[in-house]
Each structure stands twice: as structure tokens, then as C-alpha cells.
Amino acid sequence: MSQKPTAYEIAMQGLEQVAKLMRLSDEAVGYLRTPQRLLVVEIPLRMDDGSLRFFTGYRAQHNSALGPVKGGTRLHPEETMDDVKALSFWMSIKNALANIPAGGAKGGIAVDPSTLSPGELERLCRRYIQAILPLIGPQVDIPGPDIGTPQQVMAWFTDEYERLTGRHEPAAFAGKPPILGGSAGRDRATGLGLIFSMEKILEMRGENLEGKKVVIQGYGNLGSHASRFFVEKGAVVTGISDVHGGIYNPKGLDIKAAFETITRTGGIKGLKDGDPLTNQELLELPCDLLVPCALQSQITKENADKIKTRYVLEGANGPTTPEAEDILMDKNICVIPDIVANVGGAVVAYFELVQDLYLYSWDEAEVFAKLKQIMRKTADEVCSIAAEKNVRLRHAAWMSALGKIITAMRLRGWIKH
């Protein structure tokens, strides 16, 4: 049996640490440890060849003290209930931190979508919505996108929900195509949010992005958009990578060319204005900001000592392991944690809900102005708590988020203290 802790165990370890710092009551911790509702569904799918297969789907609703629950939907072959539970807990924290009046949820189907025909995928998505229908809706639980759920999938989800309920209800889902009620700017929200939080944190330290050397691991949706915003702010992007490796130019890469290449080919192969290097070498480059935007657990106790940056800005979820963070802190490297840095996507998903409830859409400038305000306020709040309590930014962010959920639970009478 594998000794590696599961995602939920990791989330609970984090909760225990912060619960100690906050001296939380057993009642409060008990509620936070326990998702309110878990659903497992077996989805029958008629394949194109006439055979019948079953796929397992999940939905976890963590805590609704602050409002209806919200969170993405993953289509991934290794999806499990443990994963979905952990991610629903993370969403409760992210939403609370950014003052989004919502709790956390997450869902998924254990499937590799690339092995299905378009028709099979559409039928599977519609069947999933039929299966979880009693538990979702704009006032209850609003599923959004995640890995494997692009806008087309969210459009099928929305259509199936409306077909079954017999009413038009765009607010029931996040991440829809704009023509079906999706928000302007959603595709760039997380990347721009990263920049807004970094700018605010630099500002509080008497610095700005002008001339800062930036290295980005993972040049996908998030990393590529973030790179353009960094350049717009006067920073110099010296290194980028994708799953196959990276490229480095200490004088700065041509980000316009890189963005065109990724848009055209889906990768960064063929870029010629720098030297090739591996992802491990890229993480160890000297820079001002290291921005992991690929996968979890990239900065570990094995490589943390070799990291030569001043700031780690976490675009990906969980790119720094807890042991690595201790090493970085000893080296005086400031880690801006994922829940502070990459909450922009969740914020704009909330904006999408608000716009859909009003049947009115904001233009991109309005969306980004509101996003900026929330990202800056969140960064400010977290830095103040960190300074006041003398804790790292990650713990300060959790303390802020958990404090709000606990206050709401107490006021509702769920817990006494």
C-alpha cells in the first residue's frame, strides 16, 4: 500500500497546523474536517460501438455557512472522492479568503475525455448532470470548470440542466461561453489576478514590477497570459517552460512570439531567442520572481535549497511542498501562496454568477477593475494578518479564511464556540 498521503490527508494536515495557531475549538475543527454532502454516481454510457460502460462521478459540498457552494468539475482518469473532498475544502477557503459569499464544492468524473468520441463525451456530460441534478442550482451548488471541462462541456452542462428543469438558468454554472452567459475576461482572470496580487505585495515593500526578472514554469493558459501582463507592467520574462522543457534568455524573451507560438501550436517548441534547459534547471535560474504555473509539488525539499529567487508566486495549486516552504523561508524567500495569488479565476466565476442573476453583463474593463480591487484587498488583508500575528503568508491566508467561515457557523448556531 502506498505511504504517500492523499490530497485530503494533506488538506487536513494544513487544517491542523492552522487550528493550533488559531486555537480553534474541537467543534469548529469537526465541522471544517467534515464535508456537508458527498455524492457518488455511477453513470451508464452507451458507447458508439453499441456497448454499455459505467463511469463513476462525484460531487462534494464542503461547507455552506457563507452561501451556496461553488467549485469546478474535473474530468480525469484518476479522479477520486478523496481528491474531490480535498478540493471542495480548498474552495471553501479560497472563496472565504476573497470575501466571495459562497462555500466550497468540487466534482468530477473518472474518465480520460480524450478516449471518448465527441458524441460519447456529450452524452456522458449530460448524464452526469442528470445524476447530480437534485443537489445543484444557483442557490445551492454552482459547478464550474476545471481540468478537462472546457467551455463546450460547460455549455452542455447548462443546456442539460435547463432542459431538465424547463427554465432558463445561466447562473446554475460558471465557465460558460460568453454567449451563454459566461463572463468577459474569464480566460485571463487568473493570470491577471496573479499580477494584481504581486503588485500589491511589492508596493507594500516599496517596490514595483518594473525591471523585475521573471521565470515562469508552465506556459499553458495561466502562464502564457500572466507572461503578457508581466511584460505590460515592465517586468522582463527571462525563462518559460512547458512539459517538454524550457528556454532561457537573461536579457528577456520575446513574449509576443512565445504567445503566438503557444496559441498556434499548443507548446513552446521552435522558439529560438534563448538557450534550451530542463524544467529542473529552469526552477533554479536566478530571478526576482519565480512563478510556478504547471503542477503541484514542483519545489520540494530536494531542490528548495537551489532556488535563487526573491519571491515565489504560486500560480499552480500546491507547487511548493510544506518542507520546501520551510527551506525557502529560512533563505528569506517570500512565498505568495496559491490561495492568495491564483484566486482570480474563482473571483470572476463569482462575477459570472452575479451577472447571470441580473441577466446583465459587464464589459471586460469593469470585470478587471473589480478583480483588481478584490485581489489587492485580499493581498493587503493577508499581509496585515501575517505582520500582526508573525506568521507566514500561507498561514495568515488560512487564518483569515477560516475565521470568516467559523464566524458564520457560530452566528448560524452550528457551533457554540
Span interacting with ligand NAD, options 99-107, 236-244, 365-373, 390-398, rule CB under 6 A: 236-244
Pairing of strands 245-248, 334-336: unpaired
Contact between 190 and ligand NAD per CB under 6 A: yes
The only residue of 61, 279, 309, 321 in contact with ligand NAD, by rule CB under 6 A: 279
Count residues binding ligand NAD (CB under 6 A). 20
Give the separation between CA 178 and CA 47, rounded to whole angstroms: 31
Distance CA 341, CA 382 (A): 11
CB of 407 to ligand NAD, least distance (A): 26
Contact flag: residue 91 with ligand NAD (CB under 6 A): no
Judged by CB under 6 A, the residue of 243, 359, 387, 411 near ligand NAD is 243
Interface pattern 20-59 for ligand NAD (x via CB under 6 A) = ----------------------------------------
Q: How far apart are CA 395 and CA 318, in angstroms?
A: 14
> Between residue 207 and residue 226, which ones bind ligand NAD under the rule CB under 6 A?
217-223
What are the residues facing 46 on neighbouring strands? Answer: 52
- What angle do the packed helices 118-132 and 151-165 form, to 10 degrees? 50
Location of C-alpha cell 458508439: 48
> Which of the ranges 113-121, 289-297, 304-312, 354-362 carries the binding residues for ligand NAD, by CB under 6 A?
289-297
Question: Is 370 annotated in the active site?
Answer: no
Q: Confirm or reject binding of residue 293 to ligand NAD (CB under 6 A).
A: yes
Nearest approach in angstroms of CB 387 to ligand NAD is 26
**160 part of the interface to ligand NAD, by CB under 6 A:** no
Count CA atoms within 13 Å of residue 240 on its CB side. 32
Q: Does 276 bind ligand NAD (CB under 6 A)?
A: no
When computed from its CA atoms, the radius of gyration of the chain, rounded to whole angstroms, is: 21
Q: Is 255 in the site for ligand NAD (CB under 6 A)?
A: no
Cα-to-chain-centroid distance, residue 136:
21
Alpha carbon of residue 253 to chain centroid: 27
Q: Closest Cα partner for 299 from 329, 328, 320?
A: 320
Identify the H or E element spanning 388: helix 364-389
Q: Which stretch binds ligand NAD (CB under 6 A): 55-63, 235-243, 320-328, 361-369?
A: 235-243
Q: How far apart are CA 77 and CA 56, in angstroms?
A: 10
For the CB of residue 351, give the shortest distance to ligand NAD in the complex, in Å: 14
277 binds ligand NAD (CB under 6 A): no
C-beta of 262 vs 383, nearer to ligand NAD: 262
CB nearer to ligand NAD: give 110 or 316: 316
Closest CA to 290 of 333, 332, 331, 258: 333
Pick the closer one to ligand NAD by CB: 231 or 293.
Answer: 293
Q: Would you count residue 295 as binding ligand NAD (CB under 6 A)? A: yes
User: Is residue 151 at the binding interface for ligand NAD, with CB under 6 A as the rule?
Assistant: no
> What is the number of the residue whose Cβ is closest to ligand NAD?
220
Binding status of residue 314 toward ligand NAD by CB under 6 A:
no
DSSP code of residue 5: P
Residue 309 touching ligand NAD (CB under 6 A): no
Chain centroid to CA 300: 20
Gap between the terminal Cα atoms of the chain: 39
Is residue 242 a contact point for ligand NAD (CB under 6 A)? Answer: yes
What residues contact residue 328 under an 8 Å CB cut-off, 6+ apart?
Answer: 299, 304, 307, 312, 320, 335
Distance of alpha carbon 195 from alpha carbon 342, whole angstroms: 10
- How far, CA to CA in Å, does 183 sit from each of 168, 351, 365? 17, 7, 12
Catalytic residue among 70, 94, 106, 176: 106
181 or 315, CB closer to ligand NAD?
A: 315
Q: Does 316 help bind ligand NAD (rule: CB under 6 A)?
A: yes
Which amino acids are annotated catalytic?
106
Residue ranges in contact with ligand NAD by CB under 6 A: 190, 217-223, 241-243, 279, 293-295, 315-317, 342, 345
